């Protein structure tokens, strides 16, 4: 299937700042597509160009085969859900939802029918004659969504639609959005800086950084096989190990890591001996035990005896900072009675940390600046230099 | 319970509002009542108010000139108000969209005319509207267009417009059609004078307007003008209402502008009141005219308020029915 919405080398400049830098994306019809990236990376700007509120400095945008780059917003069948909902305060819920249909000059009976169907879908018939100031945040959100869906647009753009809601409501709306997307089958483009939201909803995610798309893939691929140190560090948390390949046989290679030791890793890119590489190992893949792992579990590789330097209780998980050689490594351990190792681990315990060679992922594009995104062990309280 | 319902709250509120209440009673309500009571007396030759109660003053109001003067005053006030609002809306919109740092500058520019005397500014218009000036030639071209348009209309519309005093069937005479000393001059200069009073409340409402709503409307398919009418204007209606009051009320009572620029062709009720009070030294008659004018403004206003309240009650009922429909077994 060819792409429904094509973004072709689109750039946008604000003065000296390049907000969107030659972004190319192809989005399929009916897809739930997410743009994920830190604040200020150009997500909103890209979305505004899709909505028609900004014109790209260069590049074209095609929707269903038609060039829409220069069309004004009211001539695109693309609707936006704004972060502040943008409900019209002087109109009731009903009038708000009917707004796009009234512009299309549909007959009154037809408008009423469509609006009723929408109110039914979000279970807000009882609130039809209320004004936006009289309904709750979650309800406003729902009204904004159906107002944008009522005239059956080709694409729905959502710019951090849940950012203003509290955690429980956000989780609930997330589910509801998923259901609505399944019901209407319209292409959704969802902008967020929250990886959890993007992971749980999207068919595909484009991770953006400094105006560029770093990686475009399915959520699991983005998480398990990050293409760059930015993606690895921005999505979840990780440990980076820098080193040099000292041996490579078959699918695996050994990386000598200064100040830590030798690490065995899956060599999917078939790198040769002598190459310097960066390995990313996610904290939850690292096991922490008081006794050495049984050989069949860890196969005797990537086992390091180390010392616990810090323990941070996080509810579902406990985070351990462990030191091996000169390296501090973070590891996450879920709470469960059925774990291998039931003795409690405390500060300064001698422990073993180990992980399977397949659980390390070699990063193709590494930049030192991204290493700063990774969590570092909490320092001992610094002495405040008094004035 | 609201504080005002408790004894202590009522007392506190009473003490706090008493000064302004007294002020209003003393300098607004009482004078109004005095003016109204004057109308039920005759006048004395030396400019006083007669002792005895009588209806002579009201009987003397049966002057055949008055209905047309009142009608002209109302018509001109409405025209001036409409023009002021129509001009203020796009201006306020444009200023509110401007860079935040430049807005105070523009606001200051709007207030700038107030640094010069009102009478001097109005007098300056006499020079600008001089029959040899370019404004006069603009006005003539405008009249020619109007005449041509009028002649294109069907006969019944021509009669209707003539009957309302909005047009005259006679052909245009350039010698007589001077802008100066005519209704046009009065409307023009009134709009010029009152525009800041309309612009200020509308602008301060527009400044609080959330312009992302305009984007939302555009996004949902509205063109800019539709969004302006259906979103911007309703959202700043409070400002528009204040602007209407700020312009309409002084326009009704205006007398300096028609006096200086209207000549004998545009005598308004304000001029008549002035004439009766100062030249004829007939205070009761002037009071009766003022009362008449106030009534002719207050009655339509009261009707509007009543109509709006009824509309609101209807909306509310509709909402209640909508909600009741959701509850199974509920009867409406
Ligand atoms: N209208 C504008 N004028 C100048 N700079 C802008 C404008 N809009 C956005 N920017 C800048 O462009 C960059 C990207 O912004 P944005 O697209 O809003 O990021 P995001 O939505 O990912 O947080 C930011 O650095 C922002 O300051
Ligand atoms: Mg944004």
Reading across the β-sheet that carries A317-324, which strands appear in turn?
Answer: A287-289, A350-354, A303-313, A317-324, A327-334
pLDDT of residue B181: 86
Tell whether B153 lies on the interface with A, counting CB pairs under 8 A: no
How do the domains of chain B map onto residue ranges? 27-60+268-305
> What separation in Å is there between the alpha carbon of A43 and the centre of ligand 2?
6
Residues of B within 8 A of A92 (CB-CB) are 319
Residues of A within 8 A of B312 (CB-CB) are none
Ligand number nearest CA of A208 is: 1
When pLDDT is averaged across residues B308-313 and rounded to a whole number, the result is: 88
Is residue B262 very low, low, confident or very high in pLDDT (cuts 50, 70, 90)? confident
Is residue A278 very low, low, confident or very high in pLDDT (cuts 50, 70, 90)? very high
Residues of A within 8 A of B325 (CB-CB) are 125
Q: What is the mean pLDDT of chain A?
A: 90
Scanning every residue of chain A, which has its alpha carbon at the shortest distance from the alpha carbon of B324? A126
Instruction: Cite the residue boundaries of each domain of chain A with CATH code 3.40.50.300.
Output: 5-224
Q: What is the mean pLDDT of chain B?
A: 87
- Work out which ligand 1 atom sits closest to the CA atom of A38: 22
Homologous superfamily of A5-224: P-loop containing nucleotide triphosphate hydrolases (3.40.50.300)
Whether A286 and A354 have beta carbons less than 8 Å apart is answered as yes
Tell whether B222 lies on the interface with A, counting CB pairs under 8 A: yes
Residues of B within 8 A of A89 (CB-CB) are 213, 235
A239: nearest Cα among A351, A323, A151 = A323
Instruction: Cite the residue boundaries of each domain of chain A with CATH code 2.40.50.100.
Output: 229-371
- Evaluate if pTM is beyond 0.95: no
Cβ–Cβ below 8 Å for A82 and B212: yes
Q: Alpha helices of chain B — where are they, by DSSP H?
A: 7-24, 30-38, 56-60, 65-97, 103-111, 118-128, 134-152, 155-163, 183-208, 212-219, 224-227, 233-235, 237-253, 256-261, 269-274, 283-324
Residue whose CA lies nearest to ligand 1 atom number 4: A14
Whether A90 and B235 have beta carbons less than 8 Å apart is answered as yes
Scanning every residue of chain B, which has its alpha carbon at the shortest distance from the alpha carbon of A100? B220
Scanning every residue of chain B, which has its alpha carbon at the shortest distance from the alpha carbon of A99? B220
Residues B25-76 pLDDT 10s? 899 999 999 999 999 998 888 888 888 898 988 988 888 888 899 999 999 9
Is residue B324 very low, low, confident or very high in pLDDT (cuts 50, 70, 90)? low
Tell me which architecture the domain covering A229-371 has in CATH.
Answer: Beta Barrel (2.40)
Tell whether A134 lies on the interface with B, counting CB pairs under 8 A: no
Q: How far away is chain B from the Cα of A256, in angstroms, using its nearest Cα?
A: 56
For residue A266, list its beta bridge partners: A252
Is residue A76 very low, low, confident or very high in pLDDT (cuts 50, 70, 90)? very high
Residues A101-143 pLDDT 10s? 999 999 999 999 999 999 998 999 999 999 999 999 899 999 9
The percent of residues above 70 in pLDDT, for chain A, comes to 94
């Amino acid at each position: 299937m060819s792409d429904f919405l094509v973004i072709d080398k689109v750039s946008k400049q604000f003065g000296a700042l390049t907000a969107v830098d030659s972004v190319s994306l192809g989005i399929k019809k009916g897809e739930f597509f997410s743009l994920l990236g830190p604040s200020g990376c150009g997500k909103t700007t890209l979305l505004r160009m899709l909505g028609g509120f900004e014109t790209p400095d260069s590049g074209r945008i095609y929707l269903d085969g038609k060039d829409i780059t220069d069309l004004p917003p009211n001539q695109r069948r693309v609707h936006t859900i704004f972060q502040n909902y943008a409900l019209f305060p002087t109109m009731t819920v009903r009038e708000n939802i009917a707004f796009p249909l009234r512009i299309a000059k549909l007959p009154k009976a037809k408008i009423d029918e469509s609006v009723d169907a929408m109110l039914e879908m979000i279970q807000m018939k009882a609130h039809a004659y209320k004004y936006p100031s009289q309904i709750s945040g979650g309800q406003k959100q729902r009204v904004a969504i159906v107002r944008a869906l009522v005239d059956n647009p080709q694409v729905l753009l959502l710019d951090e639609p849940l950012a203003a809601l509290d955690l429980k409501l956000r989780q609930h709306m997330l589910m509801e959005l998923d259901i609505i997307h399944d019901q209407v089958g319209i292409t959704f483009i969802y902008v967020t800086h929250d990886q959890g939201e993007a992971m749980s909803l999207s068919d595909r995610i484009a991770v953006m950084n400094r105006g560029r798309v770093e990686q475009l893939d399915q959520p699991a691929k983005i998480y398990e096989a990050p293409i760059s140190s930015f993606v690895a560090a921005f999505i979840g948390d990780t440990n980076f190990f820098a080193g040099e390949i000292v041996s490579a046989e078959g699918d695996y290679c050994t990386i000598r890591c200064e100040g830590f030791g030798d690490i065995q890793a899956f060599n999917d890119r078939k790198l040769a001996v002598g190459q310097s590489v960066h390995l990313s190992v996610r904290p939850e893949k690292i096991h922490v035990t008081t006794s050495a792992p049984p050989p069949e579990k860890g196969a005797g590789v990537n086992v390091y005896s180390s010392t616990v330097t810090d323990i941070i209780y996080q509810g579902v998980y406990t985070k351990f900072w462990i030191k091996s050689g000169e390296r501090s490594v973070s590891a996450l351990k879920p709470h469960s009675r059925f774990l291998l190792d039931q003795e409690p681990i405390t500060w300064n315990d001698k422990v073993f940390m180990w992980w399977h060679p397949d659980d390390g992922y070699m990063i193709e594009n590494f930049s030192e600046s991204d290493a700063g995104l990774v969590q570092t062990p909490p320092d001992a309280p610094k002495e405040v230099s008094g004035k | 319970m609201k504080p005002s319902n408790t004894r202590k709250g009522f007392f506190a509120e009473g003490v706090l509002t008493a000064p302004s209440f007294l002020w209003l009673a003393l300098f607004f309500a009482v004078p109004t009542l005095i003016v109204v009571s004057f109308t039920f007396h005759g006048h004395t030759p030396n400019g006083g108010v007669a002792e005895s109660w009588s209806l002579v003053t009201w009987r003397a109001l049966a002057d055949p000139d008055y209905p047309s003067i009142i009608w002209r005053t109302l018509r001109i006030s409405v025209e001036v108000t409409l023009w002021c609002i129509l001009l203020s809306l796009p201006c306020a919109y444009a200023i509110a969209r401007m860079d935040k740092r430049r807005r105070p500058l523009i606001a200051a520019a709007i207030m700038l005319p107030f640094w010069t005397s009102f009478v001097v500014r109005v007098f300056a218009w006499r020079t600008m509207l001089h029959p040899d000036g370019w404004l006069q030639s603009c006005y003539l071209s405008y009249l020619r267009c109007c005449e041509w348009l009028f002649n294109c209309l069907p006969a019944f519309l021509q009669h209707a417009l003539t009957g309302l005093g909005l047009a005259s069937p006679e052909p245009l005479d350039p010698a007589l059609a001077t802008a100066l000393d005519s209704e046009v001059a009065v409307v023009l200069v009134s709009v010029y004078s009152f525009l800041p009073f309309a612009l200020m409340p509308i602008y301060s409402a527009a400044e609080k307007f959330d312009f992302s709503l305009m984007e939302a409307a555009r996004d949902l398919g509205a063109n800019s003008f539709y969004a302006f009418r259906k979103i911007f204007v309703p959202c700043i209606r409070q400002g528009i209402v204040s602007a209407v009051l700020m312009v309409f009320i002084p326009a009704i009572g205006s007398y300096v502008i028609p006096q200086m620029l209207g000549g004998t062709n545009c005598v308004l009720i304000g001029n008549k009141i002035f004439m009766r009070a100062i030249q004829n030294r007939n205070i009761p008659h002037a009071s009766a005219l003022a009362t008449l004018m106030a009534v002719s403004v207050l009655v339509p206003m009261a009707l509007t308020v009543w109509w709006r309240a009824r509309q609101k009650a209807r909306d509310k009922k509709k909402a209640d029915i909508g909600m009741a429909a959701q509850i199974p077994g509920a009867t409406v």
